[in-house]
Structure 1
Amino acid sequence: MVQLTLEQIQKKSLNRLVGLNPVFKIVVEKLIERCYARGVRIVITQGLRTYAEQDALYAQGRNGDKRPKVTKARGGYSNHNFGFAADFALLLRDGRTVSWDTLRDDDKDSLPDWSEVVEEAKRLGLEWGGNWRSFKDMPHLQMTFGLSTADFRAGKRPTQSQLNTILAKINSLKMEDEHMTAEEKAAFKALQKRVIALESANKLTKVPAWAEQACINAKAAGVLDMANDGSYDFYRMITLLDRAGVFKIREALHNDRLET
């Protein structure tokens, strides 16, 4: 695997970030950074599009064109046309090739790299095209602030208050990243991997009484989304980590923010 710095990864997307709404651009840049911290490298493949570029994409797969359809939006009907959408791809181990393989796991953590990107995108407040019902657009991310393309065509834009809310979210995540040491981040990632492995092992029908408080603390720390259906080893590990004070990291971060 070719080792690339964050700066080298960021440079690969610079041209595609030109013309994006400034706040949306900050969010996309933060996404690249947070994915890199998780061992997943992404590049932005599409950003702002002109109406003509959008119409050319819309024509693909239509009117005798045998290529697959890639969009259902004509020019003026895509959020790409207004600087509030971007498409991404995974950057492979050679540092040059990109992939849209949603099951790929180059960082070998038992989670598809694509899913990790989507998870970070949602944390940043981005909408993912893979959740759409009528036309799933797996590489697509956008942030529309409740505005439709008709609103954008009419000249409407997000209010400053809406933009400030997103900037505050970014700053909050930045504070969290800065408070946690590299060792703490590595420990949480290792724990998440272990949790995934153990959740698929022998499952108990209910949480043992001796593990209930540890599971409550783990959920409060954001390590677990649910405590049911774990294995004996899973509950034993959670209890040991709780007794070691691992789950107090998030609580300490929360208190630090309240005091500053």
Structure 2
Amino acid sequence: MTLTIEQVRAKSAAKLAGLIPCVKAAAEALIDRSYAAGIPIVITQGLRTIAEQNALYAQGRTAPGNVVTHARGGYSNHNFGVAIDFALLTNDGRSVSWDTKIDADRDGMADWNEVIAIAKALGFTWGGDFKSIYDAPHFEMTFGLSTAEYRAGKCPTQAQTDAILALIKPKQEAVEVIVNKANVIIDGCKAKDGVLIDGAVYVPLREVADKLGATITWDNASKTASIKTKEAK
């Protein structure tokens, strides 16, 4: 792959502007994860204004061209920053493709299907699964809200956006903590064993105090252990 991830990200940056934050973050993760899988992609559509949507709706009806949408302004999820469209990038970044069968990374699976799987894992709904139309380049996150509810000013809940962010955030790998027994000698005498954790030896405080002839007291209110040596007495 000749394109760097920075170059791939830059090609989509303008289209990501205006998306609601968690959808934008998911789209960025889609770009990064697809690239990591050997499939550079570009976001070709993001937020559309009502005027832009109406201009697209006019195409093939009252304006020249083919019909490209069945949604008037305010009736597309693109108008509310919760939808994106994508295309495949060639490795040199000079052209895009909507070929759903190509397997440029030669892993035995169509690149288009790999991107769909990544998007769904990030919480997107794919337009190819719509019952009314087939929209192969389309992904969206409606959060259960209709365009009518978006027009009325409703927004996703914090819990819904947090759930998407949890899918995006890489899982923190468990850190293996190795605990070993440590021998403890105080003034030449064997004391109870301590434990060695990450280079530090931990021993029972009372054991040390007793071996040194000191007294120890515990203040539960302040969670404070106090040691008094013979000299201090």
- TM-score scaled by structure 1? 0.64
Matching residue of 2:74? 76
Matching residue of 1:120? 118
For 1:162, give the aligned amino acid.
Q
Q: After TM superposition, where is structure 1 displaced by more than 3 Å over at least 4 residues in a row? A: none
For 2:23, give the aligned amino acid.
F
Change (3 A) 1:10 1:75: same
Change (3 A) 1:168 1:64: closer
How far 1:158 sits from its partner (Å)? 0.3
Alpha-carbon contact 1:62-1:69 (below 8 Å) kept: yes
Matching residue of 1:194? none
The alignment status of 1:9 with 2:8, answered yes or no, reads yes
SS in 2 for 1:175: coil
Correspondence list, 1:53-64, <5 A: 53-63=52-62
After superposition, give the CA deviation of every residue in 1:164-188 in whole Å (9 maximum; x if it has no partner): 11111222xx127x78xxxxxxxxx
List alignment gaps of at least 5 residues for structure 2. Answer: 175-233
List alignment gaps of at least 5 residues for structure 1. Answer: 180-260
Equivalent-residue separation in structure 2 for 1:130 and 1:60 (angstroms)? 22
Matching residue of 1:39? 38
Matching residue of 1:132? 130
The structure whose residues are more often strand, as a share, is: 2
> Identity over the aligned pairs, expressed in percent?
59
The structure whose residues are more often helix, as a share, is: 1
Matching residue of 1:86? 84
Correspondence list, 1:1-260, <5 A: 3-63=2-62, 65=64, 67-171=65-169, 174-175=170-171
SS in 2 for 1:167: helix
Q: Radius of gyration: which is bigger?
A: 2
After superposition, give the CA deviation of every residue in 1:24-63 in whole Å (9 maximum; x if it has no partner): 1000000011111110110001111011100111112224
How far 1:64 sits from its partner (Å)? 6.9
Equivalent-residue separation in structure 2 for 1:16 and 1:161 (angstroms)? 26
Alpha-carbon contact 1:72-1:135 (below 8 Å) kept: no
Equivalent-residue separation in structure 2 for 1:170 and 1:64 (angstroms)? 41
Q: State the superposition RMSD in angstroms.
A: 1.5
SS in 2 for 1:3: coil
How far 1:71 sits from its partner (Å)? 1.0
For 1:27, give the aligned amino acid.
A
